[in-house]
Amino acid sequence: MEKKWWHGKTAYQIYPKSFLDTNGDGIGDLRGIIRKLDYFKDLGVEILWLSPIYCSPLADQGYDISDYYGIDPRFGTMEDMDELLSQAGRRGIHILMDLVVNHCSDEHPWFQAACRDPEGPYGRYFYIVDRPADGSLPCNWRSAFGGSVWSPLPGHPDKLYLHIFHRKQPDLNWENPEVRQEIYKMVNWWLDKGLSGFRIDAIINIKKHLPFENYPADRADGLCSIEYMLANAHGVIDFLDEMADAAFRPHDAFTAGEVFHEKEEELPRFIGDRGVFSSMFDFAETLLGQSPLGWYDNKPVTPEMYKAACFASQKRVEGVGFLCNIIENHDEPRGVSHYLPPEGRHTAGKKLLAGLNFMLRGLPFLYQGQEIGMENRRCRSIDEVDDISARDEYQVALAAGLGPEEALAAVNRFSRDNARTPFQWDGTENAGFTDGTPWLPVNENYREINLSAQMEDPDSLWNFYRALIALRKSPTYAEAVVYGDLIPWLREQENLMAYLRKGEEKTLLVLGNFQNAAQTAVLPGAVRKVLLNNLHEFTAEAGRVQLEPWQFLILEVAR
């Protein structure tokens, strides 16, 4: 496999709105990110992905862009962005932006022009159709945030436009070459500015199976998930290959796709040596337990499920490419609240989850707050919920017959707000995030969970992440950590997640006792060195290691 500049690095996702507010308006900003660049240098992070900061009505928190060439004034100015790029560059930190091109905002000039003249050139930038005479819809697809994907075109009651996400996010028509050229031009403009690449939003959706047609309804609302259409859609790779040639490849850009529902045989074309992207996120774990009926019906994730999903993903990409590994992002609940059973939600358990995920083969992507173990926030009423997805899921749960309290409980488990509460910098008011009123309330636990306390504590989760990142870069072990084969170890042993990372010179054994009771594990060879231990105990004898509840170890073993 060809070696790439990004392989050995650790990446980190910033959710700018909740990162650090420097002007007291309660909204995180670019100046806040600039101020904290040394923090990332100290932590060892070398790639930063910024969730969208473009001009936007923020109907979906910036994933609805009204000007791809502008910075939303709430986040700062283009001068701030330029400064961020140069200051980051000086520290050896690469900046990625979010590329949101399945759709734009309904406030984007393209859509406004389409509304003025649907028959004109901008009408062809979107999917606009005549409303069927019988009042039906062109097809029964359900939008990701609830209801039909079709809404009346403003000013034209006889026409409908397509939006796979919110009605304020009209889908761009990728079949139109003019649209594609506009997008490539914009991507090049940013890469020329010094951006190192992009995280690529919702990209599988750009290819629609046409003509529009119904699929069997999968809920009582008579609509169906977009998945059925995607399974029939072919050709997304051709669009992406064209974009890669037009923009990514000439810049040697790093690109991480948000890809769901890809076709198995397309994997090499996505992330193989001549793939359209550098990498893509592994979402297998995030999909565990998910019900087609809605969040209210989701099942808990067990350690065995987690282990099986991680190993299956590793197997899929073996010999193909690199995945981006995550335990959470801005669309997911906090990993420690989601993957750890209640009795494991303490520092030792959090370190175990951190280590098991971080040491997988691939590129680790930390999400803001993960490094201090931030947890889900419980809302007491649906009125406290900001996330449009969670608000829809609340209605879905009510419609399914749940009471308001049960519906709220479901929303609290999965709401995207969980990951979007302000970063907990310290124990002062509003966790040091703002002098004003935060746009989303700070998690009440900020006095116990905050960065400043963890930086002082050598046994903190934060220091553990720092050690993991350092190990990934250590001259002795980097080769095994980054490129070593991943071989599951004692796979059948319940609630033990263990694997070898076999490098050219070194072999590491990663062990996690994913339960509240001790267990022992057979060793594949003599222990040369304990590289990381989340507890103080370490007992190995007669070819076995004793694992305390929630113990996590990285051992160098003889091969």
Residue 23 binds which one of Ca ion, ligand GLC, none, with CB within 5 to 8 A depending on kind? Ca ion
Measuring CA to CA, how many Å separate 532 from each of 55, 464, 544? 44, 8, 17
20 binds Ca ion (CB under 5 A): no
Please identify which residue in the block is written with the tokens 């594949």: 524
165 binds ligand GLC (CB under 6 A): yes
Residue 204, token pair as written in the block: 């599988």
- Does residue 331 touch ligand GLC according to CB under 6 A? yes
Give the x-and-dash track for 63-92 against ligand GLC (CB under 6 A): x-----------------------------
Give the pair of three-digit tokens for residue 455: 């930086």
The answer to whether 59 and 151 are in contact (CB under 8 A) is no
Q: Could you say which of 100, 271, 396, 547 contacts ligand GLC (CB under 6 A)?
A: 100
Smallest separation (angstroms) from ligand GLC to the CB of 463: 30
Peptide bond into 211 cis (omega under 30): yes
Q: Which regions of 282-389 does DSSP assign to beta strands (E)? A: 322-325, 363-367
Among 29, 201, 262, 328, binds ligand GLC (CB under 6 A): 201
Pairing of strands 485-488, 156-162: unpaired
Position among 34, 85, 149, 202 found at the interface with ligand GLC (CB under 6 A): 202
User: Binding to Ca ion by residue 27, rule CB under 5 A?
Assistant: yes
47 secondary structure, DSSP code: E
Give the nearer residue to ligand GLC in terms of CB position, either 64 or 375: 64
- Smallest gap from Cβ 438 to Ca ion, in A, equals 10
Q: Does 25 bind Ca ion (CB under 5 A)?
A: yes
Q: Are 519 and 496 in contact (CB under 8 A)?
A: yes
State the minimum distance, in angstroms, from the CB of residue 556 to ligand GLC: 38
Q: Residue 165 binds what, of Ca ion, ligand GLC, none (CB under 5 to 8 Å, by partner type)?
A: ligand GLC
Total site size for ligand GLC, rule CB under 6 A: 9
Part in contact with Ca ion (CB under 5 A); list of ranges 25-33, 38-46, 310-318, 405-413: 25-33
Q: Which residues are catalytic?
A: 201, 258
Tokens read off for 547: 């694992």
Among 4, 8, 23, 212, binds Ca ion (CB under 5 A): 23
When asked if residue 254 is in the footprint of ligand GLC (CB under 6 A), the reply is no
Stretch that binds Ca ion, among 28-36, 185-193, 267-275, 507-515 (CB under 5 A): 28-36
∠ CA 193-65-250 to the nearest 5 degrees? 35
Look at residues 311, 334, 342 and name the one whose alpha carbon lies nearest to residue 414: 334
Residue number with CB closer to ligand GLC (21 or 258): 258
Continuous H helices in 37-164: 37-43, 78-90, 109-116
- What single string gives the DSSP state of each residue in 291-317? -TT-GGGPPPPPHHHHHHHHHHHHHHH
Closest to 15 (Cα-Cα) out of 275, 378, 365, 491: 365
Q: Report residue 85 as tokens.
A: 């790029």
CA distances from 209 to 139, 228, 236, 259 (A): 11, 10, 10, 17
> Position of tokens 């669309």?
331
**Is position 49 an interface residue for ligand GLC (rule: CB under 6 A)?**
no
Edge-to-edge strands, sheet with 128-130: 128-130, 156-162, 150-153
Which of ligand GLC, Ca ion, none is residue 163 near (CB under 5 to 8 Å by kind)?
none
Choose between 421 and 460: whose C-beta lies nearer to ligand GLC. Answer: 421
The partner in contact with residue 60, picked from Ca ion, ligand GLC, none with C-beta cut-offs of 5 to 8 angstroms by kind, is ligand GLC
Residue 27 interacts with which of ligand GLC, Ca ion, none, CB < 5 to 8 Å by class: Ca ion
The binding site for ligand GLC (CB under 6 A) comprises 60, 63, 100, 165, 201-202, 258, 330-331
Binding site for Ca ion (CB under 5 A): 21, 23, 25, 27, 29
